[in-house]
Amino acid sequence: MNNPLILITNDDGIYSKGIYSLQKTLSEVGDTIVVAPDGEKSGVGHGITISDPIRVNDFGNKDGFSGYAVSGTPADCIKIAFNALLERKPDIVISGINRGANIGLSVLYSGTVSAAAESVIQGVPAIAISLDDWLSPDYSYSSKVAKKIVEIVLSKGILPNIVLNVNVPKTPNGKAKGFRITRQGTSNFVEEFDKRTDPRGNYYYWMNGEFSPKENNPNIDDVAIRSGYVSVTPLHCDLTSYSSISHLEKWKELENDIE
C-alpha cells in the first residue's frame, strides 16, 4: 500500500514557520507536498486569480522542506495543484498552521480556511489549522494536534464536503485541556481606518482591527479556545439561510409584474 499523499498549503506564505513545522511533523504520517503562496496572503478569503497570470516557482530544498511557491491565493494553490502540478489528487489537504486564530466571522476572510474549502469542493477531505498566538507562536504542540487529526481523518474519513476548522489555544504550559466540537460564532474584528499622508502629500488608509468577543456559549469556537480547548468546527460551503426561505415566500409583492 502507498503512503498517503498529504498536500500542505497556508495563507501566511511558504516562508512562514507554521507551514514548515506542519510539513516536518506530517512527514511522519505520509508523503507530503507543499504548494503555498510565495508571500503573505492573509485576509484574501476565497479569492482566486482570474485577471492576472499565475507564476509557479520551485522553492528548492531547504533543510528537507521543499515545495512550489505560487504567485496567487491559497484557493489558487489548491486549484493549480489539483489541475496542473500533481500527478494524482492528494488523500488529504491541510492548510496552516496559521499565525493567529480563524474563528467567528473572521473565518470568512481567512485564506487558510478557504484553501481547505476549495479542496472539499474538489472532493478531497481538508483541514484548516490555526494557532491563537500572533505575538510569539510556537508550533510544536499545534503540529502534534494536526498530526492527530490527520491520522483520524485518514483512518475514519470525514463526512463529504466538510472542512474541519481547527483552532489551537495559547495556554501557559503550551498544551490544551482537550478537544471541543464547536460552532462558528459571531465574534469579529472591529476595524478602524488610520488616515495618513504619504511623502508626496497624498493621503491613504491602513485598515486595523481588534477582535471583539461577543459569545459565551462553551460550544462556540472562540469561547472554546479562550477556555483552553482545541476547537474543531465542521464547516460547509452552503451559505443558504434555510430558516429565511418561508419568510421570503410570503413576499406577495414579488408576484406583481415589473412594469
Which cell goes with 259? 412594469
What is d(CA 82, CA 190) in angstroms, rounded to the nearest whole number? 36
Site residues for its own copies, 46-65, by CB under 8 A, read 46-51, 53-56
Site residues for its own copies, 205-244, by CB under 8 A, read 205-207, 209, 232-244
95 and 129 in contact (C-beta within 8 Å)?
A: yes
Which of 19, 44, 77, 94 forms a contact with its own copies (CB under 8 A)?
A: 44
Closer CB to its own copies, residue 30 or residue 111?
111
Which cell goes with 34? 507543499
Which cell goes with 6? 498529504
Q: What is the dihedral of CA 133, 137, 138, 140, to 10 degrees?
A: 60
Which of 20, 79, 97, 169 forms a contact with its own copies (CB under 8 A)?
A: 79
Does 193 help bind its own copies (rule: CB under 8 A)? yes
Closer CB to its own copies, residue 65 or residue 121?
121
Provide, rounded to whole angstroms, the least separation between the CB of residue 91 and its own copies: 18
What is d(CA 110, CA 4) in angstroms, rounded to the nearest whole number? 27
Site residues for its own copies, 89-118, by CB under 8 A, read 105, 107-109, 114, 117
Amino acid at 51: S
Does 87 help bind its own copies (rule: CB under 8 A)? no
Does 86 help bind its own copies (rule: CB under 8 A)? no
Give CA angle at 9 (188, 67), nearest 5°.
Answer: 155
Provide, rounded to whole angstroms, the least separation between the CB of residue 226 and its own copies: 18
Closer CB to its own copies, residue 63 or residue 259?
259
Q: Which residues contact 120 (CB under 8 A, 6 or more apart)?
A: 126, 160, 161, 162, 163, 237
Closer CB to its own copies, residue 2 or residue 181?
181
Size of the site for its own copies (CB under 8 A): 84
Which of 15, 31, 148, 228 forms a contact with its own copies (CB under 8 A)?
A: 148
Site residues for its own copies, 172-191, by CB under 8 A, read 175-176, 178-179, 181, 183-184, 186, 188, 191
Going by C-alpha positions, the residue among 129, 118, 108, 144 that lies closest to residue 49 is 118
Does 75 help bind its own copies (rule: CB under 8 A)? yes
Checking DSSP bridges between strand 203-212 and strand 188-197, what pairing results, if any?
A: antiparallel
